[in-house]
């Protein structure tokens, strides 16, 4: 049962964050709180040392500080900042650079794709959908939670959480 939770908790929460950002352009504080709480429980379950836990916390706080600078300049949303930090908590410094590079690449692809799609008419089947109208609006932001989640799921199999399973 513990292995099933370890395999699914983090991916399920970040997938929910991506879904939420796509359909509502918001990421609830609950998502980040769940990730932090899940980290605390799973760190205990796999027996992370207090020093390792502190390094993971430092990674999360580092990303939180940098992300809130970006938020202050209006470059990203507050939900994106908190999501990136709570993901960094799980990944730690060992995978932080890979995560940030992957998030940048996925974010660039997502941004370019949305800018291209926004130049086309909204398909008739989606014309009455509020989420599609919001996503298609030229003045709307980019649901960067999708890129953050994609990067997290790309990096997650390489982390201590999977090594603890023996994979």
- Cα 31-154-90 angle, rounded to 5 deg: 45
Mean pLDDT by 10 residues, the chain (167 residues): 77 96 94 96 92 98 96 92 98 97 97 92 87 89 95 94 68
pTM to 2 decimal places? 0.92
Q: Identify the pLDDT of residue 165.
A: 64
Return the number of other C-beta atoms located less than 10 Å from residue 124's C-beta: 7
Reference 8, options 49, 38, 50; nearest CA is 38
CA 51 to chain centre: 24
Backbone angles phi, psi at 128, to 5 degrees: -100, 5
- Cα 118-106-21 angle, rounded to 5 deg: 60
Could you give the CA distance from residue 107 to residue 85 in angstroms, rounded to a whole number? 16
3-state secondary structure (DSSP) of residue 73? coil
Q: Give the position of tokens 């999708």.
A: 146
Reference 31, options 97, 102, 90, 100; nearest CA is 90
Q: Identify the pLDDT of residue 99.
A: 98
Q: Identify the pLDDT of residue 101.
A: 97
Four-residue CA torsion sign, 25, 30, 33, 35: negative
Is 6 exposed, middle or buried, given 0-12, 13-18 or 19+ CB atoms closer than 10 A?
Answer: middle
Q: Identify the pLDDT of residue 1.
A: 61
Instruction: Copy the structure tokens of residue 101.
Output: 């590079």
């Amino acid at each position: 049962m513990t292995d099933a939770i370890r395999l699914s908790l983090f991916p399920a929460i970040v997938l929910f964050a991506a879904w939420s950002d796509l359909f509502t352009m918001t990421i609830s504080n609950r998502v980040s709180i769940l990730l932090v709480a899940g980290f605390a429980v799973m760190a205990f379950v796999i027996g992370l040392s207090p020093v390792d836990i502190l390094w993971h916390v430092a990674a999360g706080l580092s990303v939180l500080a940098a992300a809130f600078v970006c938020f202050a300049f209006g470059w990203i949303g507050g939900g994106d900042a908190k999501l990136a930090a709570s993901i960094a908590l799980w990944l730690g410094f060992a995978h932080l650079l890979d995560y940030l590079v992957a998030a940048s690449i996925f974010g660039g692809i997502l941004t370019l794709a949305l800018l291209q799609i926004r130049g086309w008419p909204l398909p008739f089947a989606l014309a009455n959908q509020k989420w599609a109208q919001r996503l298609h609006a030229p003045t709307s932001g980019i649901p960067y939670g999708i890129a953050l989640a994609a990067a997290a799921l790309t990096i997650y199999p390489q982390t201590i959480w999977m090594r603890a399973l023996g994979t």
